[in-house]
Every structure is written in C-alpha cells, then in structure tokens.
C-alpha cells in the first residue's frame, strides 16, 4: 500500500514518507527515555504514543549500545539490505535526551548512507533544529494535535520548559508556537516533514482541517491522522470509528498528502512496516 502523497520531494525510499515500504525498512533506536510534556493520551508506562505503539515498552539503549545494534543489524544478510532509515522516536521525546544527538552522530560517522529520521513533540525544536541539521537529519515528524491553545490545554496537562512547569492553555500556547516555528525552520533546511495528529473525538476533530492547512503552508510534506488509543486521561473517550477516521483523512487529502498505512510502531521496531521481523528482540508489531 502506498501513501496518497502527491508532493514531490526527495524521500530516498523512506518507508514512512511514501517510499516502497514492502522493500525498505527502518530501525528504531530507543535511546530517549525522558519526556518534557504530558499528553493526555500518554500513560508513560509505554513508548511515546506520538510515534510508537503503546502496550509494549522498549528496552532502553545507550548510544554505544545503539550503534552496536545498528552494526549487528546492518551485518545481517536478511536485514542489512532492507534497512534504509534509522529513526529515533522514543520512548520519551528525543529532543529531551542528549543521547539522541550522540546516537545520530555515531550513526552518521559509521553509516553515512542511512537516512536519519526523528519524531518529536516539537517543544524544543526551535532551539535544536540547527544541531539536527548539522547532524544530517533528513526527515522529521512533529506531533501536532491543536492550533488553538484552549483545545491544546485539554490535550496537554503540562509542559516542562527551561526549568519551569506550565499547565493548561499557557503550556499549550508555548508548545504550539514552538512546534510551528520549529516546523518552519525544518522546512527551510529542506527536511522532509510529516505531521502526526492524534484524532480525539470531541476534543480536536474540528481543528484537523486547520492543522492541515497550517502545516502545509509551513512546508510539511505529509500528514498522518492517528486514531486515539483511549488510555490515561482519555481512557473514557470513545476512539474514532474507522469511518470517522477515513472521512477525516479523505477531507484532509484535498489539503495535504495523507499517510494511511501507519501502524504506530514500537520505538524499537526493526524491519519492514507491518511485518513481524523477529530480529534483535524487536519487531514492528503493527498487525
Ligand atoms: Fe507521552 Fe510522547 Fe506525549 Fe511525551 S510526547 S507525553 S512520551 S505521548
Ligand atoms: Fe521516522 Fe517516525 Fe518512521 Fe520512525 S516511525 S522511521 S521516526 S517517520
Ligand atoms: Fe512510524 Fe510505523 Fe507509522 Fe511508519 S508505520 S510512521 S514506522 S509508526
């Protein structure tokens, strides 16, 4: 299954951006345990729900363990030729962990041909984007669930920003401003950008078209509307039906390419999207 993105950017076979994901795989390195915000749908007992499938927790790796794992996977006859992308997506927020930068540095030195990819809540994006560019980050995913701070205040209970805790709409205002500013800078650097939006019925569904318009204008390539997995603060919310999800994505498609095959992989997934490749104790457990 391909995405429906129509934009033409250099995706270099990246499976999450419309590259052939039957042939090209990605390897996630779970080097980022800490997070600097609290999303209402996150229980923090599992991987970051922004990009990773809840229900299983990754085994954390140090940067040196991570590069050793990359070596092992790239030396494998089966997996070596498949892996095209190294992604850091959790289990917390990559930008809240110095290990992320060290890991990308190590990967870039030893495996310069691998695409570097990262997923973030975006809080620290404006201040880290230059470093990410220097490290050769090719593709970036930002999870952006609201444009309106009042809506955001219902999704994020707090953020920790530069040593201070902010709550409610004030927290959301800072987060949203940084997400948009960071996304714009990333686009100016030529990064390929995906925006994840967790669809929370009754909370942010009315905002989705405006999010699509805004992120397209700022330079995003594709959007991934993900269904809420009810847990934590949103345990009592009914998740979107498949029909609702489909209709939101179809309406969005007129604005920006839609990524529809996301399986919300684990932060330590290795291999082809949607296939169980039991390697190095990790797999894409999407289906
Ligand atoms: Fe959880 Fe990820 Fe949100 Fe942090 S950014 S609270 S790890 S879902
Ligand atoms: Fe990159 Fe996200 Fe795909 Fe991982 S899941 S390779 S971080 S786009
Ligand atoms: Fe990331 Fe998996 Fe979704 Fe691709 S399918 S975007 S690898 S979570």
| Residues paired with residue 224 on neighbouring β-strands, in sequence order | 196
Task: Answer whether 92's CB lies under 8 Å from 51's CB.
Answer: no
Q: Compare 4 and 149 and report the one with higher pLDDT.
A: 149
Q: Is 261 exposed, middle or buried (0-12, 13-18, 19+ CB in 10 A)?
A: middle
DSSP 8-state secondary structure symbol assigned to residue 36? S
Q: What is the dihedral of CA 39, 259, 182, 171, to 10 degrees?
A: -20
For ligand 3, is residue 264 a contact (CB within 6 Å)? yes
pLDDT at 56: 52
Residues with C-beta less than 6 Å from any ligand 2 atom: 16, 26, 28, 51, 85, 87, 89, 117-119, 139, 141, 194, 265
Assembly ipTM: 0.85
Residue nearest to atom 2 of ligand 3 (CA): 265
CA proximity to 170, closest of 155, 145, 149, 143: 149
- The whole-angstrom separation of Cα 121 and Cα 110 is 28
User: For the ranges 5-9, 69-73, 108-112, 138-142, which has the lowest average pLDDT?
Assistant: 5-9
| pLDDT value of position 110 | 97
What digits encode the pLDDT tens for the residues 2-44?
333 333 345 667 877 766 667 788 899 999 999 999 999 988 7
What is 15-271's CATH number, 3.20.20.70, 2.60.40.10, 3.30.930.10, 3.40.50.300?
A: 3.20.20.70
Q: Nearest ligand, CA of residue 57?
A: 1
The mean per-residue pLDDT over the stretch 276-283 comes to 34
Cα-flanking dihedrals φ and ψ of residue 117, to 5°?
Answer: -140, 145
Is ligand 1 within 6 A of the CB of residue 92? Answer: yes
Tokens 């390897």 belong to 27
51 touches ligand 3 (CB under 6 Å): yes
Over residues 45-77, the pLDDT tens digits come to 666 766 765 445 568 999 999 999 999 999 999
Q: What angle do CA 112, 34, 57 make, to 5 degrees?
A: 85
Strands (E), the chain: 25-28, 37-39, 83-88, 115-120, 137-143, 156-161, 164-167, 192-199, 222-227, 257-258, 270-271
pLDDT score of 199: 96
Domain positions in the chain: 15-271
Q: Is 165 helix (H, G, I), strand (E, B) or coil?
A: strand
Q: Whose CA is nearest to atom 6 of ligand 1?
A: 38
DSSP state of 96: G
Distance (Å) from CA 266 to ligand 3 centroid: 8
How many of the other CB atoms lie within 10 Å of CB of 209?
Answer: 14
Q: Is 262 in the pocket of ligand 1 (CB under 6 A)?
A: no
Rounded CA-CA distance 160/123 in Å is 9
**pLDDT score, position 281:** 28
Mean pLDDT, rounded, for 138-147: 96
Using the mean position of ligand 2's atoms as its centre, give its distance from the Cα of residue 52 in Å.
Answer: 9
Q: pLDDT digit string (tens) for 219-270?
A: 999 999 999 989 889 999 999 999 999 999 999 999 999 987 666 555 566 7
Residue 52 alpha carbon, nearest atom of ligand 3: 8
Report the pLDDT value the prediction gives residue 23, as an integer from 0 to 100: 77
More confident residue, 278 or 99: 99
The CA 159 to ligand 3 mean position distance, Å, reads 25
Tell me which range, 7-16, 36-45, 85-94, 141-150, is most confidently predicted by mean pLDDT. Answer: 141-150
Classify strands 164-167 and 156-161 as parallel, antiparallel or unpaired.
Answer: antiparallel
pLDDT at 260: 74
pLDDT at residue 78, rounded to an integer? 87
pLDDT digits (tens, 9 = 90+) for 259-279: 876 665 555 667 666 553 433
49 lines ligand 1 (CB under 6 A): yes
Which residues share a beta bridge with 161? 164
């Amino acid at each position: 299954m391909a995405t429906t993105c129509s934009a033409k950017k250099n995706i270099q076979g990246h499976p999450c951006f419309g590259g052939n994901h039957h042939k090209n795989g990605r390897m996630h390195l779970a080097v980022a345990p800490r997070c600097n915000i609290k999303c209402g749908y996150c229980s923090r007992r599992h991987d970051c729900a922004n990009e990773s499938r809840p229900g299983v927790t990754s085994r954390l790796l140090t940067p040196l363990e991570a590069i050793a794992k990359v070596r092992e996977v790239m030396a494998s006859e089966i997996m070596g030729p498949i892996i095209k992308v190294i992604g850091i997506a959790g289990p917390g927020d990559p930008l809240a962990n110095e290990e992320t930068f060290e890991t990308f540095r190590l990967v870039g030195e030893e495996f310069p041909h691998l695409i570097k990819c990262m997923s973030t809540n975006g809080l620290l994006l404006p201040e880290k984007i230059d470093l990410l560019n220097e490290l050769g980050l090719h593709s970036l995913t930002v999870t952006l669930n609201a444009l309106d701070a009042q809506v955001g205040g219902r999704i994020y209970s707090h953020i920790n920003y530069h040593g201070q805790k902010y709550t409610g709409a004030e927290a959301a205002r800072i987060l949203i401003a940084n997400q948009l500013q960071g996304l714009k800078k990333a686009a100016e650097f030529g990064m390929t950008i995906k925006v994840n939006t967790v669809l929370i019925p009754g909370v942010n569904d009315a905002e989705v078209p405006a999010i699509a318009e805004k992120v397209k204008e700022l330079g995003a390539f594709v959007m991934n509307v993900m269904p809420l997995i009810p847990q934590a603060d949103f345990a009592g919310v009914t998740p979107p039906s498949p029909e609702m999800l489909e209709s939101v994505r179809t309406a969005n498609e007129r604005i920006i390419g839609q990524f529809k095959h996301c399986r919300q992989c684990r932060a330590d997934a290795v291999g082809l999207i949607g296939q169980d490749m039991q390697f190095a104790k990790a797999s894409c457990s999407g289906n």
